[in-house]
């Protein structure tokens, strides 16, 4: 009887969003990690689904480089054997001009595979850096871009355009 049966509570609900602090070194760290171990920058950014793509792309490039390098050396060694006057694995099958042409083709393909693989490695680093930058990007309603159909002032024909709105 002397105690209070009901408690009075006051709840205040605010309309604020808690923002994580921006780490300006995160993009550089993600790029550094991807440069050291391909895919590690994607793991740092918590984009785990990209890691198999990175290893698949770089692994495919390495496979084609290795395959073309083996074929290049195969035809090169056969041509060297032929110049020494010894029998080679292509005796009676290909002439000297064909062996030289095959060497050039496989050498060009090998070099192209190396360039593409290096490009994919650099793309892995750039992807980690850009993804880390975009995680810090502010996505709210203060800046909006939306498509809009509006009448032309000159010939009264409707046109399609984009409207960009920025609120302070």
Residue 80 lies in a domain: yes
Residue 149 lies in a domain: no
Output the tens digit of pLDDT for each of the chain's 168 residues: 555 556 666 666 666 666 667 777 789 999 999 999 999 999 999 999 999 999 999 999 999 999 999 999 999 999 999 999 899 888 889 999 999 999 999 999 999 999 999 999 999 999 999 999 988 877 677 778 888 888 877 887 888 888 888 787
Q: Which among 102, 113, 109 has a CA at the least distance from the CA of 77?
A: 102
Kindly report whether the global pTM for this prediction surpasses the value 0.85.
Answer: no
Residue 72 lies in a domain: yes
Domain carrying residue 70: 26-138
The tokens describing 62, both together, are 């390495």
Residue 7 lies in a domain: no
Q: How far is CA 92 from the centre of its chain?
A: 47
160 phi/psi in degrees, rounded to 5: -105, 140
Q: Centre a 10 Å sphere on the Cβ of residue 4 and count the other Cβ atoms it contains.
A: 6
Q: Which residues pair with 143 in a beta bridge?
A: 166
Number of compact structural domains in the chain: 1
Residue 66 lies in a domain: yes
Q: Which among 146, 148, 150 has a CA at the least distance from the CA of 158?
A: 150
Residue 20 lies in a domain: no
């Amino acid at each position: 009887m002397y105690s209070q049966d009901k408690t009075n509570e006051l709840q205040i609900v605010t309309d604020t969003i808690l923002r994580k602090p921006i780490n300006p070194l995160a993009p550089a760290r993600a790029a550094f990690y991807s440069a050291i171990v391909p895919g590690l920058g994607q793991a740092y950014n918590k984009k785990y689904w990209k890691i198999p793509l990175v290893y698949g792309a770089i692994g495919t490039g390495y496979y084609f480089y290795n395959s073309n390098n083996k074929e290049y050396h195969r035809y090169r060694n056969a041509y060297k054997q032929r110049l020494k006057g010894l029998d080679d694995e292509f005796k009676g099958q290909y002439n000297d001009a064909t062996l030289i042409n095959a060497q050039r083709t496989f050498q060009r393909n090998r070099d192209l595979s190396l360039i593409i693989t290096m490009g994919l490695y650099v793309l892995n680093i750039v992807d980690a850096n850009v993804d880390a930058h975009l995680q810090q990007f502010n996505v709210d309603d203060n800046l909006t871009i939306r498509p809009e159909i509006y009448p032309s002032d000159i010939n009264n024909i409707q046109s399609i355009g984009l409207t960009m709105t920025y609120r302070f």
